[in-house]
Amino acid sequence: MAKNTVLTLKKKVDEGGKVTMVTSYDYTMAALVEEAGIDMILVGDSLGMTMMGYDSTIPVTMNDMVHHTRCVTRATSNTFVVGDMPFLSYEEDVATAVSNAGRLMKEGRCQAVKLEGGVEVCPQVKAMVEAGIPVVGHIGLTPQSVNAFGGFKVQGKSVEAAKKLAADALALEQAGAFAIVLECVPANLGAYITEQLTSAFTIGIGAGAGTDGQVLVVQDMLAMTAGGFKPKMVRQFAQVGEAIKQAYHDYDAAVQDGSFPAATESYKDIDPELMEEVK
Ligand code: KIV
Ligand code: NA
């Protein structure tokens, strides 16, 4: 597999292909994504929930994001890695936004950054792009605004809201975003926004099949979520959580009944005569 870049990703879309993206937060899982040949990894601030156990993405810091992004990029060479900008790392002012995005690139070694929001974050997007930082936008259900939304709900259901999302997508493209994540929007709206864009491609999550690509959170797609919660938009491609739990049970049972470790799993005995001397 060749190295993915902003150009190869765009080319894939222009030739009718779909771009695939999955979240990763650590070296082990990123190495598997790299071997599987998925186009893109998102080091999402969803790590606040999936890896750190917070009940939202709000508490995630720049240091958390740099740390996890660096763990992921140690495993990747061809996969295009996008680092997520955490809550309040880019909203306040353009200069802070650019320097925080720069940290993710320099210290986290990702190839692009993602930030949530539409028209209101376009000055930040423009400044990042001018600084040579490829930017992915993110509109629709933007989890950092969960408190403002009053919960995790489908977005863009009214004419007004749908028009606002389409305008946000165009503004982000105009500001220089090379891709835009559409989260939890009706399928026909996802397709419409995708058609409206020319230079930027769309990556959907709960946005139907009409987007240029798809992204899923790894714990969702591998069924590794505690309690087994499955949002409507998720497909579980494997029951990894069950497989892991079974392995832990089997390990415990094998240790208890003495079948682990077997002779083949133990190092060769020292000479019995020498062992006598030890005693
Ligand atoms: O943080 C994340 O995982 C995301 C995806 C859901 C798009 O932003
Ligand atoms: Na995110």
- Collapse the DSSP code of 201 into the 3-class scheme (helix H, G, I; strand E, B; otherwise coil) and give the result: strand
The verdict on 109 and 210 lying in the same domain is: yes
The verdict on 17 and 130 lying in the same domain is: yes
The verdict on 133 and 109 lying in the same domain is: yes
Residue 188 lies in a domain: yes
130 catalytic? Reply is: no
Mean pLDDT of 173-187: 98
User: Which residues have CB under 8 Å from 118's CB, separation 6+?
Assistant: 137, 139, 164, 165, 167, 168, 169, 171, 172
Closest C-alpha residue for ligand 1 atom 2: 44
| Ligand 1 binding pocket mutation candidate from 155, 181, 216 (most atoms within 8 A of CB) | 181
Residue 185 lies in a domain: yes
How many domains are contained in the chain? 2
Question: Among the atoms of ligand 1, which is closest to the Cα of residue 46?
Answer: 1
Q: How confident is the model at residue 100 (pLDDT cuts 50, 70, 90)?
A: very high
User: pLDDT value at position 164?
Assistant: 98
Task: Look up the CATH number of the domain holding residue 66.
Answer: 3.20.20.60
Q: What is the CA radius of gyration of the chain?
A: 22
State which residues have CB under 5 angstroms from ligand 2, the bound ion: 44-45, 84
| Model confidence, pTM | 0.97
Distance CA 10, CA 19 (A): 9
User: pLDDT value at position 94?
Assistant: 98
| Ligand 1 binding pocket mutation candidate from 84, 138, 219, 234 (most atoms within 8 A of CB) | 84
Catalytic residue chosen out of the listed positions 92, 183, 265, 273: 183
Range scoring the smallest mean pLDDT among 27-31, 146-150, 189-193: 146-150
Q: Is 64 annotated as a binding residue?
A: no
Taking the centre of ligand 1 as the mean of its atom positions, its distance from the CA of residue 157, in whole angstroms, is 21
The verdict on 15 and 133 lying in the same domain is: yes
Closest C-alpha residue for ligand 1 atom 1: 44
Question: Among the atoms of ligand 1, which is closest to the Cα of residue 181?
Answer: 7
The verdict on 232 and 247 lying in the same domain is: no
H or E, element range at 92? none
Q: How confident is the model at residue 208 (pLDDT cuts 50, 70, 90)?
A: very high
pLDDT digits (tens, 9 = 90+) for 138-153: 999 999 998 888 888 9
The verdict on 11 and 73 lying in the same domain is: yes
In degrees and rounded to multiples of 5, residue 52 shows phi and psi of -110, -15
Residue 1 lies in a domain: no
Give the pocket of ligand 1 (CB within 6 Å): 23, 42, 44-46, 84, 138, 181, 183, 205, 215, 217
The verdict on 212 and 227 lying in the same domain is: yes
The verdict on 50 and 22 lying in the same domain is: yes
pLDDT digits (tens, 9 = 90+) for 213-255: 999 999 999 999 877 778 899 999 999 999 999 999 999 999 9
Residue 259 lies in a domain: yes
User: pLDDT value at position 228?
Assistant: 72
User: pLDDT value at position 112?
Assistant: 99
Report in angstroms the alpha-carbon separations of 1 from 16, 17, 83, 140: 19, 15, 22, 32
Residue 44 has pLDDT above 90, yes or no: yes
Distance CA 122, CA 72 (A): 28
Domain around 252: 243-278
User: pLDDT value at position 196?
Assistant: 98
The verdict on 193 and 218 lying in the same domain is: yes
Pairing of strands 80-84, 40-43: parallel
Report in angstroms the alpha-carbon separations of 40 from 79, 152, 184, 233: 5, 25, 20, 20
Q: How confident is the model at residue 15 (pLDDT cuts 50, 70, 90)?
A: very high
pLDDT > 70 fraction of the chain, expressed in percent and rounded: 100
User: pLDDT value at position 151?
Assistant: 84
| Ligand 1 binding pocket mutation candidate from 19, 22, 23, 234 (most atoms within 8 A of CB) | 23
The verdict on 193 and 259 lying in the same domain is: no
Question: Does residue 122 contact residue 177 with C-beta atoms inside 8 Å?
Answer: no
The verdict on 163 and 103 lying in the same domain is: yes
Q: Which residue has the tokens 């629709």?
A: 140
